[in-house]
Structure 1
Amino acid sequence: MDKLQAMKVYCRVYEAESFKLASESLDISRPMVTRYINALEEDLGAKLLHRNTRNISVTHAGKLYYQHCVTILEAIEEAEGELGDLSHKPKGHLRISVPMDFGLTHMVPILSEFSALYPEITLEVDFNDKRVDLTESGIDLAVRGGDLGGDHFIARPLCTLRGYVCASPEYIERNGAPEHPADLKTHNCLQYTNAPNSGRWYFKNRHEEFDLPIRGSIMANNGGALTRLAVAGTGVIIQPGFLVDKYIESGQLVPLLTQYETYSGQFYAVFAGRKLLPKKVRLLIDFLVEKLQSPA
């Protein structure tokens, strides 16, 4: 039995609480996962997991063994990373998750530059607006925007984003331009469904704040699609600058209610809180911070 591989398999089963999810994330068969766990238990002379057809539970011995496994595996990965530093060739496989639109507009050129700088680090990129579970999916690093919720992970700020209210000149000619946030109740407001409280828009200035319910003919989970719908004259949107800037500059979209601030937030690099963060993850985080926090 390959003891290190068996330890990796056990850690994935423990974290995912599922043989099936562990097999999928490690790209090995479910029977092979079972064989590794059985071999470990036989070798240790202790039961690590209680399992039945519906779920699994971890024994006291299993919890202790998991803690030791994590320490050992992270120490090995860190040692390999440090040796990679000595040869100036960091290596390994790195799985990351990034939002679709922000990933395409900002992350793709940065990842291309990172890959050229560290050619022996292979990147597996999941472009997805939905929040992924880092533990279950085996993702090493996720880029997330907005409220991070109650995740038990470490988040490092990357860049700030600000929302803009926009509509096309054609839409404004047909429907008029709202002069006050309350005027939006008569407008076709296109909703981004992945945002918290997507059915409400927030505004403020020096004197007042508004948290308004909005309605519209189209809802979507992709900001780029909503931006293109607004360019086509369908309705009013609130979207971050990286999506609307070029359309505002070209005159295809007109900023509205500019005397009010809408939402603002940040993108973060989110990763597991390990004592020994793998070198390849640290390299990418530092690279993202450098590129995304620069004035350019």
Structure 2
Amino acid sequence: MDKLQAMKVFCRVYEAESFKVASESLDISRPMVTRYINALEESLGAKLLHRNTRNISVTHAGHQYYQHCVTILEAIDEAEGELTDLTHQPKGRIRVSVPMDFGLSHMVPILSEFSALYPDITLEIDFSDKRVDLTESGVDLAVRGGDLGGDQFIARPLCSMRGYVCASPDYLEKFGKPSHPNELMNHNCLVYTNAPYAGRWSFKKESKDTFYVQVNGNLMGNNGGALTRLAVAGAGVIMQPDFLVDDYIANGKLVSLFDEYETFTGQFYAVYAERKLQPKKVRLLIDFLMEKLQ
């Protein structure tokens, strides 16, 4: 049995929770996947997976073995990466996690350009607003915005963002244009549910203290892009970051409100686990993102 290949197969089954997906992604047959798993379990003398005709579950031994496999396979990947450095031909797989809206609007063109420059590097991109656990998911690099919630990882700033309160001309004509943020309590506001304090919008004017307005409305959602489109359609008032609303404000489909006030501000970061030896391909991607986004 090729132990390293068996480890790769096991890790893919573990991550996909599916023999079928593992076989397709590794381009091997399902019976071969089963043989690798059976051979691993026999050599270890421990059950790694419980499986039936409908699903699989990972045993405690399987969870522990997966962590060891990831460490070993990453070490091999780093060693191969260092040899690749000598030939100046970076290659291999990079697993990247990016936020849905920012990923689609800003990251896709950049990642496409990076892929064209380095065709031997495979980018596996996860578009999701859910924060991934870098230590368990196998993700090499995550792009995150706002509060990172700890200092256990390395975070390098990529670009800044700020929020705008907006509504469509049709909505404002129908319901009136608020002259002060407090008047938002009388408007239909579209609430982004992934925000730390959903429905509590912050405002600050010059040197005065920040104050908050609790807003409500009949539409809520966990996707800023969708809420922005609803606002363009006249459904209500939104507070969303510049990268989502700038174009709509420029073409008149949205009207920016309260420009004299500062709402939320933040940064996007490239976040990765602290490692003694970062593979060159990951370093290249981080530097490329910083160059393009800053």
C-alpha spacing 1:49/1:151, structure 2 compared with 1 (3 Å): farther
- Per the alignment, do residues 233 and 52 of structure 1 end up closer, same or farther by CA in structure 2, a change over 3 Å counting? closer
3-state secondary structure, aligned to 2:17: helix
Q: Which residue of 1 aligns with 2:291?
A: 290
Matches within 5 A, 1:77-88: 77-88=77-88
Secondary structure at 1:115's aligned position in 2? Answer: helix
The offset of 1:5, in angstroms, is 2.2
User: How much does 1:272 deviate?
Assistant: 3.1
1:210 and 2:198 matched: no
Q: List alignment gaps of at least 5 residues for structure 1.
A: none
The AA in structure 1 aligned to 2:242 is G
The residue number in structure 1 matching 2:131 is 131
Aligned pair in 2 of structure 1 residues 82, 55: CA closer, same or farther (>3 Å)? closer
For the structure 1 residues 90 and 55, does the alpha-carbon distance in structure 2 shift closer, same or farther, using more than 3 Å as the test?
closer
Distance in 1 (CA, whole Å) between partners of 2:257 and 2:130 is 28
Match of 2:54 in 1: none
Distance in 2, matches of 1:78 and 1:243, equals 37
Offset of residue 125 of structure 1: 2.3
Amino acid at match of 2:292: K
Which one is further off, 256-265 or 269-278? 269-278
CA gap of 1:108–1:86, structure 2 versus 1, over 3 A, is: same
The alignment covers a number of residue pairs equal to 285
**Structure 1 contact 97–127 (Cα < 8 Å) conserved:** yes
| 1:236 matched residue in structure 2 | 237
CA distance in structure 1 between the aligned counterparts of 2:278 and 2:154, rounded to whole angstroms? 11
Aligned to 2:175: 175
Shift of 1:234: 1.9
Cα distance per residue 1:122-151 (max 9 Å; x no partner)? 222232233344455443322222223359
- Give the Cα–Cα distance (whole angstroms) in 2 for the partners of residues 122 and 226 of structure 1: 33
Give the conservation status (yes or no) of the 8 Å contact 1:19–1:34: no
1:39 Cα deviation after fit? 3.8
**Given the alignment of the two structures, is residue 56 of structure 1 paired with residue 59 of structure 2, yes or no?**
yes
Kindly tell me: are residues 267 and 32 of structure 1, through their superposed partners in 2, closer, same or farther at Cα, counting changes over 3 Å? farther
Equivalent position amino acid for 2:229 in 1: R
Report if the CA contact (8 A) 1:19-1:33 is conserved: no
- Contact kept in structure 2, 1:21 and 1:136, CA below 8 Å: no
Q: CA deviation at 1:262?
A: 0.9
Task: Give the aligned partner of residue 189 of structure 2.
Answer: 189
Amino acid of the structure 1 residue aligned with 2:60: S
Q: TM-score, normalised by structure 2?
A: 0.81
Structure 2 portions without partners, runs of 5+: 52-56
The equivalent of 2:141 in structure 1 is: 141
Instruction: Give the whole-Å Cα distance in 2 for the aligned partners of 1:108 and 1:11.
Output: 27
Change (3 A) 1:134 1:72: closer
Residue 104 of structure 1 is matched in structure 2 by 104
TM-score (structure 1 length as normaliser): 0.80
In structure 2, the CA distance between the partners of 1:241 and 1:173, relative to structure 1 (3 Å rule), is: same
Contact 1:78-1:276 within 8 A present in 2 as well: yes
Indicate conservation of the 8 Å contact 1:81/1:278, yes or no.
yes
Alpha-carbon contact 1:9-1:22 (below 8 Å) kept:
no
Report the CA distance between 1:119 and its aligned residue: 0.9
- Superposition deviation, residue 292 in structure 1: 0.9
- 1:95 alignment partner AA: R
Structure 1 CA distance for aligned equivalents of residues 85 and 290 of structure 2: 20
Match of residue 223 from structure 1: 224
In structure 2, the CA distance between the partners of 1:250 and 1:71, relative to structure 1 (3 Å rule), is closer
Q: Please say if residues 82 and 279 of structure 2, whose CA atoms lie closer than 8 Å, have aligned partners that are also in contact.
A: no
Distance of aligned partners of 1:36 and 1:275 in 2 relative to their CA distance in 1, 3 Å threshold: farther
| RMSD over aligned Cα atoms | 3.3
Deviation at 1:284, TM superposition (A): 0.9
Check conservation: 2:91, 2:120, Cα contact below 8 A: yes
Give the superposition deviation at 1:178: 2.1
